[in-house]
Every structure is written in structure tokens, then in C-alpha cells.
Structure 1
Amino acid sequence: MRIVDVCAFYSPNGGGVKTYVEHKLRAGPLQGHDIVILVPGSEPRTEHYGPGARIEYIVGRRFPLDGRYHYFHDEFALHAMLDALKPDWVEASTPWSSASMVANWRGTAPRSLIMHADPLGNYAYRWFRNIASRQTIDRGFDWFWRRLKRFDGAFDHIICASDDLSTRLRFGGLKNVVINRMGVQPNIFSPRRRSRDLRRTMLECLDLPDDALLLFGGGRHAPEKRWPMIIDAVTAAGYHRPVGLIIAGEGRARRQVERAVGNNPHIRLIPPITDRREFAAILASADALVHGSESETFCMIAAEAQASGIPMLLPDCGAAADHLIEGAGLHFEAANAASLARAIGQFIDLGRARQAVVARDAAPRTRTMDAHFQDLFTLYHARQTVKVESRPRESLPYCTVAGALA
């Protein structure tokens, strides 16, 4: 089967999408599939990753909010590339313009919309959570729900990686929702990568003693990640206990994150860690992961923390919440710094050593990316081997909202 992934938010510089894409390029050929990742770039070119695996770039415009990315802007060119590739299955990865282009393509191949993005969670719910209920916000964004329902008629599957997102979509009236949780890269994350020396070095960088609590966070410096909220909570907790935090990441909101850190010597911002094994060692050597976003579609770093055998402090809603292991960390009220500060204190009072044992015991049960792709390709194979009456696909308008170009 030739699977073409129309991947709007891919950057060769790294990130969760790149990790996902690279594993798909390995997993597909091993199961007999030809994988083509179709991405927008500054110029047309091809990157080969071995037999049956490649990335095809077509010309796109630079994304105005982040210069590392481009977006699909030429529907005719995208359709011409799909015609040339002759896919057996087509995927779209965001519910914006690229998904409309895939839905409008006149080819006969079945297609899936994989919800790697949650615009309502990232924007609407975050912007208005303090002044309106979720039901009221949904009514205000009815235009987006109408868009999702049109996608539901145009795509064979709407694939979600978490219970939270799939439940919301089904409650909103979508019929073709399928859950397929993602997973971690196998043979990289493990409690065995924990290093006392590395932990001690990190604490020394934070000007803290060996008995301090070492928290780790990773991800883009973007408003939805809520780094200032996390920093405020860690700072508040640090007035009563020795607590340090290392955040690995970069992004357009870095200035706000830096302002939140201020002169706190116990919080350190570091660049993204591109070496996966080095990252795995740092993650496993922390005492706990702290994560602030309640709008993740899966929360890869929480899964990686689970595989690394460390406890977690996670918001009480969204996909991140699903990763908490009972007895190995705590939930806190989403977007509430005071709640997170209390959770940090409670985490210490409950005993770090006991919670670490529970986390290490749970680590081998972490779902892997291999399992995710096995289930994904099985889903596609089942659809192709069963005769299904072809459904008319509704033509969808091109979305020109500035922040929704991908």
C-alpha cells in the first residue's frame, strides 16, 4: 500500500512531528508499505530514507508565525502531486487548509484526517476558559464545528490519539472518529538511563543541593505550553522547599518565558536536546516531569517520561492527564499556578522514593510507536479489503484565516 501523508507542520529542525514522521518512514516499509511524506518547503526536492520511504517537498509559503515552517498554499500543485504519486491511502494532519485540499482532491483513494492539532483546545478554550463554559465557547465557535462535521463526511476516518479529544469530537456530532494512541520510540527511553551523576550535575547548575527536587519540562516556548504558569508555581513552591526546574525548548514566546524566570537561579532554560539518547538520559535522571498544556492531542513527552520511569505532575484535563500513573505523581488544576505549587509540595510530602518505584515498575508497559503504526496500517488494510460503498465527498472551502494556514 502506498500511503501519502500530507504533513503540514513538518520542520527538518526537529520537534514532535519530525520524530513521528521519521518513525513512520521506518515502520511503513518494514510492514510492506510505501511511505511518502508530502511537506511544504522553500523549493521542490526529495529526501530518500531507504527503499519505500521518502519525503517530497513542494513549494510552500513561509509560515508567518514561525519561520521554521512553511504551509501549503497551492491546491492545484498539491493535487497534481497526489495524482502523480497515485496513493492507495491519503492522510492529512491538521484540520485547516491542507485538510480541505486533501478532501477536495478528486482521486479515488480513501483518506484519513489525523488530529495532530487541537485548535479549539489550543486557542478557544485557552482564551476564554476564565469567562465562559466550554459549552458556551463551542457555541461561539460553531463555524469550526461545522467545518469538522464537513471533514467527517469527506474523510473515512478522523483519527485521535487520546480519549479526551475523541470524546469531544463524538459529543460534537462526528461519526467517523477512531482512537489510535501514539507511543514512544522503542529502545530509547528507559529507567536504566537514570544517572545519579547527571542528576547531581543538573542540580549544581541550579545552585541546589542533592536532596532538592529536580523537575524537568520540555517543549516549545508557546502560550499553550504555559511555561510562565509553571515557573510561577515552581518559584512559589521553592520558597518552602528546595525545588529546581530545567526547561528544554525554544519558540516565539521565549521572551515571556525568560521574563517569568527573572533572576531565579533555580530555574534554567536550555535549548532543545536533539540527541534522543542524551534527552532520554536527562529525562530519566529528573525526579519528575512537569507539564502545563491542557490542549495536547497526545502529549509525547509525558509518554516518554512514563517510559523513563519518572513520576509526573500533569494538568487534570486534556490528553496529558491520561498519562498519569496512580501513585507516581499528581494532577493539578489546569492553568492554575497555585494548584501546581500545592501539588509540588504534596508530591514531596508523599515521598519521592516510593513514587519513583511505582513509576519504574510501570515503565515497561508504555505503548510504543511500533504498536501505533501497526494498528494504523491494520485499520487501513481492513478498510481496503472490505468492499465499502464510495461516499460522495463534499467540496470544502479554502481556509484563509491567518493563523490557520497549514
Structure 2
Amino acid sequence: MRILIATDAWHPQINGVVRTLAMTAAAAKPLGADIHFLTPQSFRTVALPGYPGLRVALPAPGRIAALIAEVDPDSIHIATEGPIGLLVRRYCRKHGRPFTTSFHTRFPDYVSARAPIPVSWIWAALGRFHGASRAVMAATPALAGELRQRGFRNVVLWPRGVDVGLFHPRATDLGLPRPIFLSVGRVAVEKNLDAFLGLDLPGTKVVVGDGPARAALERTYPDAVFLGARTGEQLAKTYAAADVFVFPSRTDTFGLVLLEALASGVPVAAFPVSGPRDVIGDAAVAALDDDLRSACLAALKIAPAACLEFAASLTWEKSARAFVTNIIEACAAEARSANTHIAGPRFIA
């Protein structure tokens, strides 16, 4: 089965969407799915205003059509609601091609943090975008429930995974006073890093990542250590050097960084909001508290072994299987609605 994923988020961006798509494609191959990508690499890009590190594609309809024809996919999945996603959606609607979508980010919350646009307007636009989708894939049950309450149809689950071969405990020393409280992610206003960096904590507060808010935060919190963006082994070693992973975001739908920290044997401190609650559930691997300082100190008492056991059950193979199954079921639903018979794609159960 040949699947084309259209995405506005792609390398060299470092974020959960890019990592999810790349890991899903690799894990889907043994399942009989050949995943191709339609990304900003095929188009001219411009820097996003106020966010120079993030570039946005300027796709043309003709080029979009040519790239889709080149892949000749059995199924099209639209991963993002940006310029590429919009034009691929328009192509599918024009040519009567069914498609699936995924809901990765709470854009209404992010946009409202930067611009005076009513959140209801943004949700209405997202509802229209996903309205024709055969399956809207959400990472967690809580997000799926919220989307259904907001009128989204055909909502299904697509859970996330973690690479335990890369993220695991190891002897690492950052040469900083302990305990080390670590945060990893985009350094931007929506990540609510002030709530972490402003805490009175023992040891050292460390931030990994880059973004438009970094310079201002470095000036405001000179006692914190900003290491910039890290990937691969360098990132994995940084996780392993930490004592507590702090996740101050109140808007993330699913923080892959939570799973990466837990796979490294590092407990989590966060606010008791839907993102971390959905990832962690009732597992004793995190301290969730409206008082983030109390959560950070409580997390120091959590056993690393519990974190490792929890993360071991969340694999990218399971995530990829859910994604491919959603695609297959969407194709079957389309066939039934059209009252036609098509051969099912090859899939290893």
C-alpha cells in the first residue's frame, strides 16, 4: 500500500510532528505500507513572521498535482493545516479523492497567544478543514473527545511511541549542580517556560531547544542554562543527565518529549492538564500539580524503574500499526459508501 503524507512540518524543523511522521514511516514498512512525503523541500519557502527559524512553503497547485501523480498513492494523508495541507486538500476535493487528516497541535491556543483572533474563529476554520476527512487522527482519547464535542466527525486514535534504542539511561554528567530540572522543546511563548524558569528550585534549571523567545528568556533568567537545540545521541545523553523532566506547557496535545524523558528513566513534573494527563494516565511516573514547584520536588522521589517500565510499552511499531489500520479502515469506509468493491491493501496483522 502506497501512502502519501502531505506535511508543512519537515526537516530541518525539530518538533514532535516531524519526528512522529519520520518514525511512523520507518515503522510502517514491515507492515506493508510504503510511505512517501510531500513536504516544503519541494517548494520555495519564506520565514514565518515573528518566527525566523520556521519557514513556510509557497506551493503551487500545478506542482502539487504533479507531485501527487508522481507518487500515484493508494491513499493520501494530510498531516498539517498549512499551505501544503490546504492545497492537497483542495486537490483531493477537486478530483474526488478521499483523504485522511491528523490533528497534531492546538492552533487556536497558539494563535491566540500571539494575535487578537477569536479562538472560536480558528476552531471554525479547523472544523471546515477536517470536515471532509475520512478519518481525523488524534493522539489521545481526551483530544479525540474534545474534537468530537466540537463537531468533528470520523475521529480516530493514533497514539505515539518512543525509540527506546536511542532514549535510555546512561552515565552522563553535564557538570552542573544537581538536581537537574530539564525542559526540552521549542522555546516559544506557547510553551509557558516562564512558569518553569521562574521557580525557586535547588540545583540547576536546563532548557534544550531554540525559538523566538530564547533571547528574552536568557536575559530574564540568567541562572538557567540554555543549551540550544540538540538531537540524536546528544539529546539522549542530556535527558539521561537530568533528575526531573519539567513540562510547563498547558496547551500541547501530546508531548513526545514526555515519553523520551521517561524512556531515559527521568520522572516528569507538569501541570494537571489534558496533555500530560493523557500521556501518563494513572501511572506513577509523574507528579502533576497546579503548584509546579511542588510537582518538581515530588518528582525527585519517583523511582526511575517505574519510568522505564512505562515507556517500554509505547513503541513506534504500535503507533505505525494504528496509523496504517486507520488508513485501511478509511479506505474500506469509502468503498462501502461508494457501493464498490476494491481489493484490500496488503497488511501484516
Q: TM-score, normalised by structure 2?
A: 0.85
Letter in 2 for 1:364: A
Structure 1 residues 390 and 293: CA distance shift in structure 2, 3 A: farther
> Deviations 1:356-391 (Å, cap 9, x if unpaired)?
3432443322x1122111111122123334523259
How far is the alpha carbon of 1:13 from its aligned partner?
A: 5.2
* 1:343 and 2:290 correspond: no
Matched, 1:363 2:319: no
Does residue 210 of structure 2 align to residue 250 of structure 1? yes
AA aligned to 2:249 is S
1:300 aligns with 2:256: yes
Aligned-partner Cα distance in 1 for 2:150–2:18: 30
Q: Is the 8 A contact 1:183 1:371 kept in 2?
A: yes
Residue 155 of structure 1 aligns to a residue in which SS? coil
Match of 1:281 among 237, 242, 246: 237
Question: Quick one: distance in 1 between partners of 2:250 and 2:65?
Answer: 35
CA contact (8 A) 2:268 2:299 kept: no
Match of residue 59, structure 1, among 17, 41, 44 = 44
Residue segments in structure 1 that go unaligned for 5+ positions in a row: 42-56, 129-136, 334-338, 392-406
SS at match of 2:235: helix
SS at match of 1:154: coil
The aligned counterpart of 1:103 is 89
Q: Distance in 2 between matches of 1:70 and 1:269?
A: 26
1:372 aligns with 2:319: yes
Query: Where does residue 347 of structure 2 map in the other structure?
Result: none
Is contact 1:273–1:279 with CA below 8 Å preserved after alignment? yes
Partners of 1:60 and 1:74 within 8 A in 2: no
Q: 1:310 aligns with which of 261, 266, 269?
A: 266
Alignment of 1:196-235 (within 5 A): 198=172, 201-202=173-174, 204-205=175-176, 208=177, 212-233=178-199
* 2:318 is equivalent to residue 332 of structure 1: no
- Whether the aligned pair in 2 keeps the contact of 1:214 and 1:288 (CA below 8 Å) is yes
1-structure distance, mates of 2:309, 2:104: 30
Give the Cα–Cα distance (whole angstroms) in 2 for the partners of residues 142 and 216 of structure 1. 34
Report the Cα offset of residue 99 of structure 1.
3.1
SS at match of 2:136: strand
- SS in structure 1 opposite 2:95? coil
Once the two structures are TM-superposed, the CA of residue 168 in structure 1 deviates from its matched residue by: 1.5
**3-state SS of paired residue (1:313):** strand
Pairing 1:153–2:131 present: yes
3-state SS of the aligned residue for 2:121?
Answer: helix
- Taking the aligned partners of 1:142 and 1:14, their CA distance within structure 2 comes to 29
1:163 to 122, 127, 141: 141
Structure 1 Cα separation of the partners of residues 77 and 67 of structure 2: 14
Equivalent residues in 2 for 1:19-168 (5 A)?
19-41=19-41, 57-64=42-49, 65-105=51-91, 106-124=94-112, 140-168=118-146
Residue type of the alignment partner of 2:237:
A
8 Å CA contact 2:188–2:212 kept in 1: the answer is yes
1:38/1:58 contact within 8 Å kept:
no
Is residue 11–residue 68 contact of structure 1 (8 Å, CA) maintained in 2?
no
1:216–1:63 Cα change, 3 Å: same
Compared CA separation, residues 361 and 382, structure 1 to 2 (3 A): closer
Relative distance call for 1:61 and 1:75 in structure 2 (3 A) is: farther
TM-score (norm 1): 0.74
Instruction: List gaps (5 residues or longer) in structure 2.
Output: 340-349
Superposition deviation, residue 347 in structure 1: 4.0
- The DSSP-based 3-state class of the residue aligned with 2:318 is helix
